[in-house]
Structure 1
Amino acid sequence: MITEQRRRAYLTAMQVSSWLPRVELPFAAPSRAELLAPLVQPSEAEAVPATVEVVAAPAPAPMAEVANVGARPELPRPGVARTVAAVSAAPSAELEAAEAPVKPVRQAPPRFALQLLRAGQCLLLVELPTGEPLQSRDPAYLLLKDLLRAAGLPDSPQLLGEPVRWPLMTRGSLDQGPQAALEYVQSFVAAQLEQQEACACLWLVGLPAVRFAGEADAEAFNRELQVEGLGAAWALPGLELLMDEPARKAELWRAMRRVMGRWKSVND
């Protein structure tokens, strides 16, 4: 505890002229009686005339707060100010975000390799399992020859152009996403169709060929498609998939008998 003399020196430095302790302080001087007297309330007779503007008097402060008279005013907490500023700025930020143009999300480029061939009245867009051109002794190429013989087509197809490998570039800012790949493959096949004789049917062998030339997915396997700009097409599972899952060949043969009329009638 501090002495009365030091206590008064602290209060004077803080510019506190009147104060009351909440508990009895040792070594303290007795309180002045006028500070403990109740405040006098004005009577109704002494009310201010109606023509004079009435100003409400401030409510008396509790005894526990008398010691704070003359203290420094409490400054707003920085956290509260930032919160209010953030709330007031939120609508404007949302408005700016709504007005800002939406940038299209660039998708990762797909990876595939396709080879276009011609066998009789049909063109074949074949997925290259290894990414390299088919060789005469490759199991995938031998299976393709079996499919062509079963379809009544020449089993030595002619290569048309270089393989299409996607993505075209490994670097650069050019968009090489799925939509760009679809447009490129379709334009490539359409250009080859214009240079070739009449094509009775376009074989799409493998999921990349079905997806980026026929605009379909794996559910279209063994079905006929009508592709704008490319004409009639037939979707087939990939050669590697047929070798890994031989059970798919039975459904493929049944589908082939239904589609075979497209190029058989031309040959006849």
Structure 2
Amino acid sequence: MHEQRRQAYLQAMGINHYVPRFVLPNALASPRCETFVADMSAMVVESVAAQEPQTAPPSPASPAARAPKIEVEFAAKKPVPPRPVKDEVITEPRFTAELVLSDLGILFIASGNLSGAQKRLVANIAQAYSTFALEGRDPALQAGRFQWPVSQGRSLPRGEAAAKDALSANVLARSERQKLNKIVIFGDTLQPYLDEAMLTTEGLKIIKSASLEELMSDGNAKAALWQALRTAAQS
């Protein structure tokens, strides 16, 4: 069928959109179809344009961003010099020890210079012990003295440790010469300066007593000392 006549038949039947299955060579394109394709192309272009994000105009730079950058060089911290170490202050003890030796195997140690009454008390204690343990042997008391510091010379050791070593060595030397095996310490003033562990290791028994002043006024303190001496004599 001729193309113009076919288009006329189609329009008469009310068929406006018709795409032939087979198109003959050199056939005219349907004007209705061309219009439809053109409309679809325009719709696709408009849809793509709507979906593309709109590029916002660049915002003006802030004043801080426009300001020139100023580089500041921080000075390196200087190392803090170490504080000078102060010389250690050594407290120098000062004391006098009365050392009363005897032929009873006992060394009596008291702090300070003994008065006449205190010397008689020590003699009475020694005599009572001799009567109880050694059949009344003569105590043969001999007084000695140890004073700290020994010398003012700065080259010698100082401090409590040095005083302890010196007094302990002096007591040990006297005990070895007199063959003593017991030490009676009156009061607690001199106890920090006696190395009890060392003296005990050397075979000396240490008996701690109240001070001579307390013994002269307190019968209970005197009884406690007497009990300790009796126990030491029987051991």
Pairwise TM-score range, normalised by the shorter structure:
0.5 to 0.7
Q: For residues 36-65 of structure 1, give each alpha carbon's deviation from its aligned partner in whole angstroms, at most 9, with x where no partner exists.
A: xxxxxxx942469xxxxxxx53259xxxxx
Q: For residues 48-106 of structure 1, give each alpha carbon's deviation from its aligned partner in whole angstroms, at most 9, with x where no partner exists.
A: 9xxxxxxx53259xxxxxxxxxxxxxxxxxxxx9xx96xx867xx6xx57xx9x88844
- How big is the alpha-carbon RMSD for the aligned residues of Structure 1 and Structure 2? 4.2
Task: Specify the code of the residue in structure 2 equivalent to 1:189.
Answer: V
Could you tell me how far 1:184 is from its partner in structure 2?
A: 0.2
Structure 1 residues 195, 226: closer, same or farther in 2, change over 3 A? closer
- Alignment correspondent of 1:149: 127
Could you tell me how far 1:215 is from its partner in structure 2?
A: 4.0
- Alignment correspondent of 1:16: none
- Alignment correspondent of 1:193: 175
Could you tell me how far 1:173 is from its partner in structure 2?
A: 6.6
Secondary structure of 1:140 counterpart: helix
* Correspondence 1:109-258 to 2 at 5 A: 109-130=92-113, 134=114, 138-152=116-130, 154-159=138-143, 162-170=144-152, 172=154, 174-196=156-178, 198-215=179-196, 227-229=200-202, 231-258=204-231
Q: Is the 8 A contact 1:181 1:212 kept in 2?
A: yes
CA–CA separation in structure 2 for the residues paired with 1:226 and 1:140: 26
Structure 1 residues 247, 183: closer, same or farther in 2, change over 3 A? same
CA–CA separation in structure 2 for the residues paired with 1:194 and 1:170: 28
Q: Is the 8 A contact 1:112 1:127 kept in 2?
A: no
Q: For residues 199-236 of structure 1, give each alpha carbon's deviation from its aligned partner in whole angstroms, at most 9, with x where no partner exists.
A: 232222332443322449xxxxxxxx962336322222
Q: Is the 8 A contact 1:116 1:123 kept in 2?
A: no
Task: Specify the code of the residue in structure 2 equivalent to 1:203.
Answer: V
Q: For residues 121-165 of structure 1, give each alpha carbon's deviation from its aligned partner in whole angstroms, at most 9, with x where no partner exists.
A: 3231422433xxx47xx0000110111122126344123xx4101
Identity across the alignment (%): 23
Secondary structure of 2:93 counterpart: coil
- Alignment correspondent of 1:51: none
Q: Is the 8 A contact 2:103 2:140 kept in 1?
A: no
Q: Structure 1 unaligned runs (5+)?
A: 1-42, 49-55, 61-80, 217-224, 263-268
Secondary structure of 1:121 counterpart: coil
Q: Is the 8 A contact 1:115 1:128 kept in 2?
A: yes
Structure 1 residues 171, 259: closer, same or farther in 2, change over 3 A? same
Task: Specify the code of the residue in structure 2 equivalent to 1:255.
Answer: A
Structure 1 residues 230, 178: closer, same or farther in 2, change over 3 A? farther
Could you tell me how far 1:178 is from its partner in structure 2?
A: 1.4
Q: Is the 8 A contact 1:118 1:124 kept in 2?
A: yes
CA–CA separation in structure 1 for the residues paired with 2:88 and 2:196: 20
**How many residue pairs get matched?**
170
CA–CA separation in structure 2 for the residues paired with 1:141 and 1:104: 43
Give the one of 57, 63, 74 matched to 1:58: 63
Q: Is the 8 A contact 2:182 2:207 kept in 1?
A: yes
Secondary structure of 2:109 counterpart: strand
